[in-house]
């Protein structure tokens, strides 16, 4: 009496184990865990050395930039404190007619227009009296 067993159906977990991508992901995760464990097992001095090397490369950039800044600052300060006097005189005109006078009238009011207005004329009269009295 031989009984035949029904064919075994695959479980979802069996399907996942057969997938190559899943297998590769599991392998990668295991390698990452192994690397992390190795990093944790490094000695304290090794980690300090790595930190100092990284800090040294960053701080050297800061030192170079600060040195350039300091040089430029001191150079500018020395130039300022030397009190140099730069005078440049250019005489383009050989002959100049004197007296040269420039008249610039920026007053928007004409005196003749003010004298036509009685109130403004009275104001000008008072102003003239005050100015003449002060002199």
Question: 115 CB contacts (<8 Å, ≥6 apart)?
Answer: 121, 124
Record the pTM: 0.32
Please, what is the Cα angle at 56 between 51 and 57, to 5 degrees? 105
Question: 124 CB contacts (<8 Å, ≥6 apart)?
Answer: 114, 115
Residue position matching structure tokens 């701080």: 59
Residue 116 within a domain: no
Residue 12 within a domain: no
30 SS3 class = helix
Residue 62 within a domain: yes
Residue 124 within a domain: no
Residue 92 within a domain: no
Report the domain count for the chain: 1
Residue position matching structure tokens 């001095």: 45
Chain-centroid distance of CA 134 in Å reads 59
Residue 74 within a domain: yes
Residue 23 within a domain: yes
| Domain that residue 55 falls in | 17-81
Residue 94 within a domain: no
The pLDDT profile of the chain, 135 residues, written as one tens digit per residue, is 556 655 566 666 666 666 788 888 889 999 998 888 777 766 777 778 888 888 888 899 899 999 999 999 999 999 999 988 877 777 776 676 665 566 666 676 777 777 788 888 888 888 888 888 876
């Amino acid at each position: 009496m031989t009984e035949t067993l029904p064919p075994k159906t695959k479980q979802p977990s069996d399907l996942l184990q057969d997938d190559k991508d899943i297998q590769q992901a599991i392998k990668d995760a295991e390698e990452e865990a192994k690397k992390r464990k190795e990093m944790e097992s490094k000695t304290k001095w090794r980690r300090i050395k790595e930190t100092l090397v990284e800090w040294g490369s960053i701080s050297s950039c800061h030192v170079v930039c600060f040195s350039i800044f300091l040089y430029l600052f001191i150079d500018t300060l020395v130039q300022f404190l030397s009190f140099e006097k730069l005078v440049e005189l250019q005489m383009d005109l050989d002959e100049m007619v004197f007296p040269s006078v420039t008249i610039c009238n920026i007053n928007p009011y004409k005196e003749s227009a003010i004298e036509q207005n009685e109130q403004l004329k009275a104001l000008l009269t008072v102003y003239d009296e005050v100015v003449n009295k002060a002199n």
